[in-house]
Amino acid sequence: MSAGRRTLAIVTALASVGVALTIAAVARQSDGTPARVLTVDPGDGAVLTAAPDAVTLRLSTGADSVLSHVTVRDSTGNAVNEGRVRGDGKTGLRQSVRLTGPGDYSIAYHITFTNGQDATGVLRFSVGTGAPPQGIADVPDPILDEADHAHGIDPLGATLLVLDGLALVVVLIMLLRPRRRSPAATDPPTAPAGSGHQR
Amino acid sequence: MTVAKEHAARRGVIGAINEAHHRAVLGLYMIIVLAHWAEHLVQAYQIWVLGWARPQARGVLGMPFPWLVSSEWMHYAYAIVMLIGLFALRPGFVGRARTWWTIALAIQFWHHIEHLFLLIQVQAGFLLPGTTVPTSFAQFLIPRVELHLFYNSIVFLPMLVAMYLHLRPNERELQLQKCNCTQEGRQRLAANSGS
């Protein structure tokens, strides 16, 4: 096979892989009914007499616990989570909490489902007050620590990415420039020595 | 059997991909590296230009397949593929290009050790003292640095230099090269296979 045909075959194979991945990605994103949160325990507006030790969510499909967040806060906005959210069965998540005392609490969640869909929501409940929660107006984002994703992106990494891009452009420009070669450089090494070319 | 084929057969797969197929395999390897780089660039665009929340900024393939972003195994596998590629394609480099390629190999080797260390923490369920998430050695020096992105970015630069010097060798390096990455190399291989 000639070099040109080999290159064409490689490009065709890579393009095919790209098209297949795109189709798979689109098919997966439009896959059936939207994923959603079925229930949260404690539920929205719940009036509890005893503090729960965890918040659990039942989902319509599996979730990626690494990319999902459930944050419980007291009425002053302090998070009362204990550790990170973990899977609870095939289609559930469980966030352990340590509630600090009677009062109103909020639950903010961001769920990344295994099919790539996302869901967010906010609920409120009270513990030991005997009244529905009413004191919490604004509930912050559920993500407590933006750096907890080991494979996300940070400002240093983004800067390095841009530097890489600039270096790539410089190298490509340099490669596009015509080469300066001595006539000898074009000769195969099998040419007999002393053929008159300068080395 | 021609001289070139005899030589390639003697050296096996490594010999073949560093001589008659170096250009194709190196090209494929660079496509993988650039696709990975582009995915992270899209991620950065989603965060800082589109203003998406970080867990939702998952590049292109990470949107339908979140495990590509969250799986520790996946990132370890990528680090291994990169390491194997750097190791397997190194014999085809000569002179200054080989020096830069070796620098990239050394950085990637350490990157792989870091990933292995993270993977062990995830699998064994232990954390280093004073940490709340699996932590790499680099994160002790630069807190909150994203390990995977940091190492892949700094490996990329010596790789680029090596690639440039490999495609633009000086005359001494040109004589040492045995692969088909330059026009002279292709002529030499064709001359050998025709002899």
pLDDT 10s digits, A94-130: 999 999 889 999 999 999 998 888 898 999 999 998 8
pLDDT above 80: residue A8: no
Out of A143, A147, A161, name the one closest to residue B53 (CB): A143
pLDDT tens digit string along A67-101?
899 999 998 888 899 988 999 999 999 999 999 88
Residue A66 CA to residue A62 CA, distance in Å, equals 12
- The predicted pLDDT at position A191 comes to 44
Contact B149 A161 (CB under 8 A): yes
* Rg, chain A, Cα only: 29
Do A164 and B195 lie within an 8 Å CB cutoff?
no
Quote the pLDDT of residue A29. 60
* pLDDT on residue A199: 34
In chain B, residues 3-22 whose CB comes closer than 8 Å to chain A: none
B50 close contact with A: CB closer than 8 A: no
Residue B137 near residue B131, CB atoms below 8 Å? no
Q: How confident is the model at residue B55 (pLDDT cuts 50, 70, 90)?
A: confident
Taking CA B71 as the corner, what is the angle to CA B31 and CA A34, rounded to the nearest 5 degrees? 100
Q: Do B188 and A188 touch (CB under 8 A)?
A: yes
Contact A150 B175 (CB under 8 A): no
C-alpha angle A188/A193/A195, rounded to 5°? 85
Cβ-defined contact of B40 to A157 (cutoff 8 Å): yes
pLDDT tens across A167-196, in order? 999 999 999 888 766 555 555 544 444 433
Reported pTM = 0.72
- B52: contact with A, CB 8 A cutoff: no
pLDDT at A193: 41
- Is the pLDDT assigned to residue B27 strictly greater than 70? yes
Interface contact flag, B168 A174, Cβ < 8 Å: yes
Amino acid at A59: L
- % pLDDT > 70, chain B: 92
Q: What is the mean pLDDT of chain A?
A: 80
- Residue B123 scores a pLDDT above 50: yes
Query: Percentage of residues in chain A with pLDDT exceeding 90?
Result: 37
Question: Cα–Cα distance between B145 and B40 in angstroms, integer?
Answer: 15
Read off the pLDDT band of B140 (50, 70, 90).
confident
Q: How confident is residue B4, by pLDDT bands cut at 50, 70 and 90?
A: low
Give the pLDDT confidence score for residue A3 in this predicted structure: 59
Give the pLDDT of residue B75: 81
Burial category of B39 from C-beta neighbours within 10 Å (exposed 0-12, middle 13-18, buried 19 and up) = middle
pLDDT band at A4 (very low <50, low <70, confident <90, very high): low
Closest partner residue to B61 among A25, A167, A174, by Cβ?
Answer: A25
At B15 the pLDDT is 86
Confidence of residue B25 (pLDDT cuts 50, 70, 90): very high
Strand order in the sheet with A37-41: A37-41, A54-59, A92-96, A86-87
Q: Burial, B16: exposed, middle or buried (Cβ in 10 Å; 0-12, 13-18, 19+)?
A: middle
Average pLDDT estimate for A27-50: 83
pLDDT at A147 over 70: no
Q: State pLDDT tens for residues B64-115.
A: 888 888 777 888 888 899 999 999 999 999 999 999 999 999 999 998 888 8
Confidence of residue B137 (pLDDT cuts 50, 70, 90): confident
Q: Which of A89-93, B44-48, B132-136 has the highest mean pLDDT?
A: A89-93
Structure confidence at residue B171 as a pLDDT band (50, 70, 90):
very high
Contacts (Cβ under 8 Å, ≥6 apart) of A9: A1
The span from the CA of A9 to the CA of A15, in Å, is 10
Model ipTM value: 0.81
Helix axes B72-89, B95-124, angle to 10 degrees: 160
Q: From CA A51, how far away is CA A100, in angstroms rounded?
A: 9
pLDDT value of position A149: 46
Identify which of B47, B153, B186 has the shortest CB distance to residue A164: B153
- How would you class B96 by CB atoms within 10 Å of its CB: exposed for 0-12, middle for 13-18, buried for 19 or more? middle
What is the model's pLDDT at position A195?
A: 39
For residue A137 the two structure tokens come to: 């107006």
Closest approach of B73 to chain A, Cα-based (Å): 12
Confidence class for position B133, pLDDT limits 50, 70, 90: confident
